[in-house]
Chain A
Amino acid sequence: MDSVSPADEDLVVDVEQLVKNFDHTNALDGLDLRVRRGEVHAFLGPNGSGKTTTLRLLLGLLRADSGSMRVLGMDPWHDAATLHRRLAYVPGDVSLWPNLSGGEVIDLLGRLRGGLDPTRRDALIDRFDLDPTKKGRTYSKGNRQKVALIAALASDVDLYLLDEPTAGLDPLMEAAFQDCVRELGRAGKTVLLSSHMLSEAEALSDRVSIIRRGVVVETGTLTQLRHLTRTAVRAEVRVAPRGLDRIPGVHDLGVDGNLVTAQVDPVAMDQLVSALAVAGIVSLVSHPPTLEELFLRHYTDGTS
């Protein structure tokens, strides 16, 4: 998908033909992934498509069967500890020690990563409304996630690897999280964020990679990806229009009296709107394809 091939030093994550098998399952099957310096990159795919496996490989927690992998110019398997000084990771399922308080875990993880900014830590605890004195066993899933997020976000590193970071957060906290990620983006940090929540990717990401069954099937900016898909149009007109079905690029056309619905390729938009104008537009609603629709195209076999 990439029309421009950026110079290698601009790639924070550079993965080619990555293969990882577990016992009898083929988790990654020749995965390519490129994340550029300073971008927020969303890594999208349904459950079990290989997102977590990819992140664990990028961390050197798993060993690849074949393929090449560079993270911040280092080999994650051999240079794991050095590499980890420059990144922060939030696992998808955060498991805390039952008898340690949230504050203790945040400080410990920060120290092990090479230090964290105490002012920033306190600001984040405030922002995420976390009680750091509670013990790990008493936190809910969302609060456990906050502990790991705060520990990661309070570290000043180059790369943030976040595995479904908002899965347990309520909408208010999700908004706080999105603000934080935008700030990281403005500060020139690189974020790779896995998600199956498309709204999150839409709200945050500069570029998106879509993974399916261990292979990245699309990569690009949201704009680029939207070219691949159709805009939904719903119009109410004065007189029943005719000849709409003859416009190439108009799909799933429905005309019910004065109500018109259709899926439209970008090239046909001009013609369709002209035709509707002739019929006299009362109301016109069109919305860009959501990533849900992108997903539907990629994960429903047999459709165009």
Chain B
Amino acid sequence: MNGTGALVRLALRRDRVLLPAWVLGLSLMVVFSVSATKDLYPTKQSLVSAAETINATAALVAMYGKVYDPTSVGALSLIKLTAFGAALVAILFVFVAVRHTRSEEEAGRLELVSAGVVGRAAPLSAALVVGMGASLVLGALTTIGLGLVGLPWVGAVSFGLGWALSGVVFTAIGGVTAQITTSGRAAIGLGMAAVGVSYAMRAVGDLASGDPGWLSWLSPIGWSQQIRPFAGDRWWVVALPVVATAALVPLAFTLRSHRDLGSGLLPDRPGPARGGITGVSGLAWRLQRGMFFAWVVGAVLMGLVLGSIAHNVTGLLTSPGMRKYIVLLGGEQGLTDAFLAAEVGILGALVAAYAVTATARLRFEESEGHAELLLATATTRTRWAASHFVLALFGVAVIMLVAGAAIGFSHGLAVHDVGRQTYRLVGAAAAQVPAAWVMAGIVMVLFGWVPRWVAGAWGVLVAFIVLGEFGPLWQLPQWVLDLSPFEHSPTLPGGAVGASQLGLLLTAAALLAVAGFARWSTRDLEA
């Protein structure tokens, strides 16, 4: 543990912009959402009817969870931020935990540090201290913000605690995944998979009978909801994340103490003495295929789960008032389609994250010095950059189509209409591809023009998702909402196929790519 203090200071110095920006941004998001929602529902009746509508709409319950007290302003106005917000918090802290452990180790910098008076476990404990400390600060700021906008302080504390503990648990999860893989990217990927799985688990659990079903109780993101801020404030739920953290942290330290610096859990096996990689495209495939297959498997699993719950949607609606509501929305078919379209939309945003990682590989290859080796051969710059870029575009399309097919297949099984549902949902999924390609184009522009800022594409992606989720609530002007490519993706199945919008997205992706490639072939190679 020697040297932990110094490493904590080093981490804070490195994150002096990133961490405060995220923590403040997330806290402000909460404050804005609450103050915007409060004015929307002036009477208790409008509040209750809005909450009941949400609770009766499976797509919304799956996406955000239930409003556990329909008469509570806090519970309603934070519905979008309880589970979804906890997931954003989780993503941030997986990233922070891995960034200061495995990524540093992979880069060889930890070796430099470890040679000093620094205990073997110090980098891990420093990362956990920073991550968990920042989680608590985030929780405190959120609580203060909610109290200041006029919500009850008790609920403000339980909401802040829910977020803080999501951060704490996922810092610990990041600390564990960092011990398992040998690359920082893979550790972050594994941590993100944990976020995705816990989000999906609580979606299924929240839809199940049992209020919520047992799957939600296994999900760290579900725990933030089940504290039920502003809707009963069940303090005992806090014990779950605390116990989980108490189990995960020793696990991370045990894994760390059983391995050498730089190694993962799996031993390195010898590779072939002769190479079968024939060109840069083959190399790009070799470097990216592991991540690609992991995404395909994830997409299939998620698609099967989401598809299997879609037919339950209308079962939730029992009251006569709600029946009327269904008819207004286009009947049961319309409701199911709305649910499916929401799921396909979420997958579209997730696949955009794949587009970012796959394209950002270019920058990693450049800064690691691998590009220097390749570009000193007869490989042109365009050829090399295209090898990863094309793979990213191709990967996005395949993952999305496979996910659509999985949703359609499992929904089709449930409604005895496999052929047609698979066909519809593959089409719906295909319509999400151009927006994700725009994200790949944005990474390409950053790579060409400001290579050091390629990681900023993650911020852009989060900003687009937040715009889509909260922009209308914050009453942002339409042109701001239109900045997000997802705003232009058609709502399918059920909606109209906007050919002109898809054309717009494809044009934007193409222009961004051209701008990025053009600059890349005329700039210096940068370490």
Write the chain B residue with the least CB distance to A125.
Answer: B273
* Contact, CB under 8 Å: A108 / B378: no
Which of B268, B277, B374, B377 is the one whose CB lies under 8 Å from A137?
A: B268
Q: Once bound together, how far apart are the Cα atoms of A67 and B183, in whole Å?
A: 42
Which of A81, A82, A104, A114 is within 8 Å of B275, CB to CB?
A104
The answer, yes or no, to whether A80 is at the interface (CB within 8 Å) is yes
A196 within 8 A of B: no
**A104 / chain B contacts, CB cutoff of 8 Å:** 271-272, 274-277
A61 and B271 contact, Cβ closer than 8 Å, known pairs A100-B286, A111-B278, A112-B280 = no
Tell me, yes or no, whether A228 is within 8 Å of chain B by CB.
Answer: no
Complex contact A137–B262 (CB within 8 A) = yes
- Evaluate whether A132 and B273 lie within 8 angstroms (CB atoms) in the complex, with A61-B525, A62-B525, A109-B373 already known: yes
Residue A207 is within 8 A (CB to CB) of chain B in the complex: no
* A-B contacts, 25 listed (Cβ < 8 Å): A56-B525, A61-B376, A62-B525, A63-B523, A80-B380, A81-B379, A85-B378, A88-B376, A95-B370, A97-B370, A98-B183, A99-B287, A100-B286, A101-B272, A103-B273, A103-B275, A106-B275, A107-B274, A107-B277, A109-B374, A111-B279, A112-B280, A112-B377, A113-B377, A134-B270
Bound-state CA distance A95–B368 (Å) is: 7
In contact, A97 and B378 (Cβ under 8 angstroms)? no
- In the complex, residue of chain A having the shortest beta-carbon distance to the beta carbon of B375: A61
B522: Cβ under 8 A from any A Cβ:
yes
B369 at the binding interface (Cβ < 8 Å): yes
Q: Is A258 part of the contact surface with B, judged by Cβ < 8 Å?
A: no
The count of residues in chain B whose C-beta lies closer than 8 Å to any C-beta of chain A is 37
Taking a contact as CB atoms closer than 8 A, the residue among A88, A91, A106 that contacts B372 in the complex is A91
Question: Which single residue of chain A is at the shortest CB-CB distance from B369?
Answer: A95
Taking the closest CB of chain B, its distance from the CB of A162, in whole angstroms, is 12
Q: Which chain A residues numbered 76 to 105 have a C-beta less than 8 Å away from chain B?
A: 80-82, 84-85, 87-89, 91, 93-101, 103-105
Cβ of B39 < 8 Å from any Cβ of A?
no
Contact with A along B276-318 (1 / 0, CB 8 A): 1111100100110000000000000000000000000000000
Tell me the bound Cα distance from A76 to B522 in angstroms: 13
Q: Which residue of the partner chain, among B274, B286, B373, contacts A94 with CB atoms under 8 Å?
A: B373
Given contacts A107-B277, A137-B262, 10 further A-B contacts (CB under 8 A): A81-B378, A89-B376, A95-B370, A100-B271, A103-B272, A106-B275, A133-B270, A138-B268, A148-B373, A161-B376
B182 contacts A by Cβ under 8 Å: yes
- Whether A112 contacts B279 by the Cβ 8 Å rule is yes
Binary interface profile of B, 254-267, with partner A (CB < 8 Å = 1, else 0)? Answer: 00000000100000
| Chain A interface (Cβ < 8 Å from any Cβ of B) | 56, 59, 61-63, 80-82, 84-85, 87-89, 91, 93-101, 103-109, 111-114, 132-135, 137-138, 148, 161
List chain A residues, Cβ under 8 A from B279: 111-112
Instruction: Give the residue among B268, B275, B277, B368 with the most A Cβ atoms within 10 A.
Output: B275
| A108 contact from B277, B380, B523, B525, Cβ within 8 A | B277
A62–B277 alpha-carbon span in the complex (Å)? 27
6 nearest CB pairs, A to B:
A101-B271, A104-B275, A107-B275, A95-B369, A112-B377, A89-B376
Interface pair A103/B274, CB less than 8 Å apart: yes
A277 CA / B182 CA spacing, docked (Å): 70
A-side contacts of B372, CB under 8 Å: 56, 61, 91, 95
The CA-CA distance from A30 to B280 in the complex, in Å, is 36
Q: Determine the distance from Cα of A89 to Cα of B378 in the docked complex, in whole angstroms.
A: 11
Query: Which B residues touch A113, using CB under 8 A?
Result: 377-378
Q: How far is the CA of A88 from the CA of B182 in the complex (A)?
A: 31
User: How many Å lie between the Cα of A2 and that of B370 in the bound state?
Assistant: 37
1/0 per residue B363-406: CB within 8 Å of A? Answer: 00000111011111111110000000000000000000000000
- Chain B nearest Cβ from A97, distance in angstroms: 6
Q: Which residues of chain A are near B183, meaning CB under 8 Å?
A: 98
In the assembled complex, which residues on chain A have CB atoms less than 8 Å from the CB atom of B276? 104, 107
**B275–A101 touching, CB < 8 Å:** yes
In contact, A112 and B275 (Cβ under 8 angstroms): no
Q: Which residues of B contact A100 (CB under 8 A)?
A: 271, 275, 277, 286
How far is B375's CA from A95's CA once the two chains are assembled, in angstroms?
14
The reply to whether B369 and A98 form a contact with Cβ atoms under 8 Å apart is: no
In the complex, the answer to whether B524 meets A62 with C-beta atoms within 8 Å is: yes
Residues of A within 8 A of B379 (CB): 81, 84, 112
Determine the distance from Cα of A132 to Cα of B287 in the docked complex, in whole angstroms: 19
Contacts of B373 in A (CB 8 A): 91, 94-95, 109, 148
Best-buried of A94, A111, A138, A148 by chain B (most CB within 10 Å) = A111
Residue of B274, B368, B373, B525 most packed against chain A (CB within 10 A): B373
Chain B residues with Cβ under 8 A from A112's Cβ?
A: 279-280, 374, 377-379
- Chain B positions within 8 Å of A97 at CB level: 287, 370
Contact partners of B374 in chain A: CB under 8 A: 109, 112
As a 0/1 sequence over residues 151 to 195 of chain B, the CB contacts with chain A under 8 angstroms (1 = contact) are 000000000000000000000000000000011000000000000
Given contacts A89-B376, A91-B372, contact A134 B277 (CB under 8 A): no
Q: Which of B69-119 contact A (CB under 8 A)?
A: 106
Contact in complex: A135, B275 (CB < 8 Å): no
Residues of A within 8 A of B376 (CB): 59, 61, 84, 87-89, 91, 161
What CA separation (Å) do A133 and B274 show in the bound complex? 8
Measured between alpha carbons, how far is A96 from B283 in the docked complex, in Å?
12
- Nearest B residue to A84, CB-CB: B378
Residues of chain A with a CB closer than 8 A to B270's CB:
101, 133-135
Once the chains bind, are B182 and A108 in contact (CB under 8 Å)?
no
| A135 contacts B274, C-beta separation under 8 Å | no
**A108 touching B283, Cβ below 8 Å:** yes
Q: Find the residue from B286, B378, B522 having the highest chain A CB count within 10 A.
A: B378
